[in-house]
Amino acid sequence: FVLTMLFSCKDSKSLDGIYEYVQNKENNNNNYESGCSIVGFLELKDGYYYNGITKSTLRFPFKVENDKILIDNPDGGQLIIDIIDENTIGFMGCLF
C-alpha cells in the first residue's frame, strides 16, 4: 500500500513546464474552446501557476493531490486541473 501511494503521487517539480492549448478534434466538442484559445497556455513553475492572459504578472500557488493540480485563488476559491499524462493537462474541458 505504501509503495503504491509513493508511486502514484506526482511531484510538483515533475509537472513544471508550459502547457500550450492546441486546437484539435477532442477540444472542438467543448463549450469553452474559445476561452481556452484566448488563454493560450498554462505554466507550472516552482510551485506556482501562471496563464497566458496574465502571463507572469499574477501567480498562484498550486499543490498536487490524486492526479489533480489544485490552485488556490486569492479570493478563497480553488481551480482544479486534471493531470491526463506526463505531457497533458485538462482544464475546463480543454487539453493543454
The CATH number for 22's domain is 2.40.128
β-sheet with 68-72: strand ranges across: 17-20, 41-45, 48-51, 55-65, 68-72, 78-85, 88-91, 94-95
pLDDT at 26 over 60: no
- Strand 78-85 and strand 68-72: the pairing is antiparallel
- 79: domain range? 2-95
Domain total of the chain: 1
The amino acid that residue 65 corresponds to is: E
pLDDT at 45 over 70: yes
pLDDT at 83 over 90: yes
Q: What are phi and psi of 91, to 5 degrees?
A: -140, 120
Q: CB–CB of 69/92 below 8 Å?
A: no
Q: What are phi and psi of 93, to 5 degrees?
A: 85, -5
What is the pTM for the complete model shown?
A: 0.72
